[in-house]
Amino acid sequence: MPVRGMLEAVKSVGIWVRVSTEDQALGDSPEHHEKRARAYAEAKTWEVVELYRLDGVSGKSVAGHPEAQRMLADIRSGRIEALVFSKLARLARNTKELLEFAEIFRQCGADLVSLQEAIDTSSPAGRLFFTMIAAMAQWEREEIAERVSASIPIRAKLGKPLGGAAPFGYRWVDKQLRPDPDEGPVRALIYDLFIEHRRKKTVARLLNERGYRTRNGSRFSDTTVDRLLRDETAKGRHRANYTYTADRTKNWSLKPQSEWVYTDVEALIGEPLWERANAILRDQRASQTRQTRKTAHLFAGFAFCACGQKMYVWSNSPKYVCSQCRNKIPIADLETVYREQLRSFLVSPSDIAAHRAAAQEAGRERERLIVAGEAELKRIARTEDELFDLYSAGSVTKDDFGRRHAPLSERRRRLEDELPKLQAEVDVLRINLLSQEEALHEARDLYDRWTTLSEEEKRQLVEAITQRIVVGSEEVEIVLMELPSRNEGGRATRAQGFMAATSCTRAG
């Protein structure tokens, strides 16, 4: 997670506007949705770089639309970092497509902002949406996977292909594994060379020098040689149904051995030769010194010296140290300071209550203005219709019609501009309040559970809520989150970092 300063870098966002023909007939204007989204982005100081408009398009299926494809391409390339739209139904009414869109955004590290549902996944509260979507997608995948996996053991026991490629040295013939006339001799040669030289790198080098290549045309490596030596297929015992992946990635895991299925196939080498080669491998592995995993310190990447340099924990050192000015702080002291800061996360309870009350009242005030503005728009529409009827009937002259209609048209235009802005201010207030509630809950819970968490869990939480830790000569400044500030008019302005300074005893 990158370390951020007091203000976030400007986020490049896109606006998604989809209004069906039926909605437009009912007076639902695409321009209104666009203005509301732009006003929200402006309130968050985001830069709108793209607009995706799907006028008159049904929400039953939008994934194949050129604008949807352009939007997804921009998300994947990083051109836009978030997509703002008025409500989820405008993005997709098809649940499957909504799940797919959300998963793409999550994988690309981009945010979804649905104003009507107060979902902004760049905020603590909004991130819950991705969790819910992921759970729904997981359930759908598991339903499909259960049906598919039920047939896998049966197919494996019958020696049928399960969709994977045949092992090197073999090929599928009439859905049965048969030795490959070209690869089979090379596979057998690997065992002979290894028993002779007892080094996998040497075997790979000799194979490459003789012009042999893997199935995809690559040069042999020691890891490829190791894998082929251990595979029991060469001695006539093919293993299947022994791995699985939960997310269709390359992160495979082994199934319990009770689920593995072995089938007999034609051997490329004798079993004694296979056992001899693998005995050498076992002896070599047992003699190798196991390397210790490098320690990932809790605040690595977040701890900075007051001089601006990052602070690191050197080998066998109990402290974070600045290599430039030699400023240092014990590891245990910094963790204690951090945990204590969780207790006073954000501001005092009284300040929180006052801030919430002010924000809620500001929201209600704007909602009253929205209701009044919408009512006035309806009155203007009725007056314009009446005026047009009078003009059509010849009861008013052209000049009189223009004189009466001009102020009505100007007032309607101003209201059509102002109402989306007011609605965006309400959206910002609602989302900020939800985010603060979630952040407060998380902070209090973290403080209580801190000592029970594993180092990995602590690190994940630090990455989730920490922006920067600055270690000075007398105090430690911890930027845990961003608080929305309010100007005199009550509007939400650019979020300012809330810095908590805590003194700690310096060791060494």
Is 106 found in the same domain as 193?
Answer: no
Query: How far from 450 is each of 19, 125, 170, 338, CA to CA, in Å?
Result: 48, 21, 54, 10
**Nearest Cα to 311, choosing from 296, 326, 293?**
326
Pick the last residue of a domain from 409, 431, 453.
431
Burial class (CB in 10 A: 0-12, 13-18, 19+), 5: exposed
Is 156 found in the same domain as 26?
Answer: no
The CATH number that applies at residue 230 is 3.90.1750.20
Stated as kind and residue range, the H or E segment containing 446 is: helix 398-449
Separation of alpha carbons 118 and 302, rounded Å: 30
What confidence score (pLDDT) does residue 190 get? Answer: 94
Separation of alpha carbons 177 and 268, rounded Å: 12
338 is a domain residue: yes
415 is a domain residue: yes
Domain interval for residue 78? 12-147
**Nearest Cα to 38, choosing from 493, 422, 424?**
424
Is 413 found in the same domain as 483?
Answer: no
- What values do phi and psi take at 170, rounded to 5? -130, 170
**Nearest Cα to 263, choosing from 141, 162, 405?**
162
Is 451 found in the same domain as 404?
Answer: no
- Eight-state DSSP code of residue 49: E
Is 199 found in the same domain as 56?
Answer: no
Q: Hey, what are 318's tokens?
A: 């109990």
Is 220 found in the same domain as 72?
Answer: no
Is 245 found in the same domain as 123?
Answer: no
Is 245 found in the same domain as 200?
Answer: yes
3-state secondary structure of 323: coil
Per-residue pLDDT tens, the chain, 508 aa: give them: 333 333 445 789 999 998 776 666 556 678 888 998 998 888 888 999 999 998 777 656 677 888 889 999 999 999 999 999 988 777 876 677 777 888 888 888 888 888 887 888 877 666 666 666 555 555 555 555 555 454 445 454 444 544 467 889 998 888 788 899 999 999 999 999 999 999 999 999 999 999 999 988 889 999 999 999 998 889 988 776 556 555 444 556 666 776 677 778 899 999 999 999 999 999 888 876 444 444 468 888 889 999 988 888 887 778 899 988 889 899 888 888 888 777 665 445 665 666 677 778 888 888 888 888 888 888 988 998 888 888 888 888 888 888 888 888 898 888 888 888 888 888 887 777 766 666 566 556 666 778 888 887 788 777 766 778 999 888 888 876 544 333 333 333 222 233 333 444 444 4
Separation of alpha carbons 154 and 174, rounded Å: 17
Is 330 found in the same domain as 466?
Answer: yes
Q: Hey, what are 11's tokens?
A: 């986020």
Separation of alpha carbons 48 and 102, rounded Å: 20
436 is a domain residue: no
Is 163 found in the same domain as 142?
Answer: no
Q: Which of 12, 20, 287, 454 is catalytic?
A: 20
Separation of alpha carbons 449 and 99, rounded Å: 32
- Residue 153 backbone zone (phi > 0: left; psi -120 to 50: alpha; other: beta): alpha
What confidence score (pLDDT) does residue 446 get? Answer: 63
What confidence score (pLDDT) does residue 180 get? Answer: 93
What confidence score (pLDDT) does residue 83 get? Answer: 93
Q: Are strands 261-264 and 237-240 parallel, antiparallel or unpaired?
A: antiparallel
5 is a domain residue: no
Angle in degrees, CA 296, 298, 301, rounded to 5: 80
Number of alpha helices (DSSP H) and beta strands (DSSP E) in the chain? 15, 18
Separation of alpha carbons 309 and 322, rounded Å: 7
293 is a domain residue: no
Query: How many domains are there within the chain?
Result: 4
Is 367 found in the same domain as 278?
Answer: no
Is 355 found in the same domain as 238?
Answer: no
Separation of alpha carbons 183 and 116, rounded Å: 61
Crossing angle between the packed helical segments 95-108 and 66-77, to the nearest 10 degrees: 20
Q: Hey, what are 2's tokens?
A: 């990158």
7 is a domain residue: no
Separation of alpha carbons 24 and 62, rounded Å: 18
The CATH number that applies at residue 88 is 3.40.50.1390
Q: Is 20 a catalytic residue?
A: yes
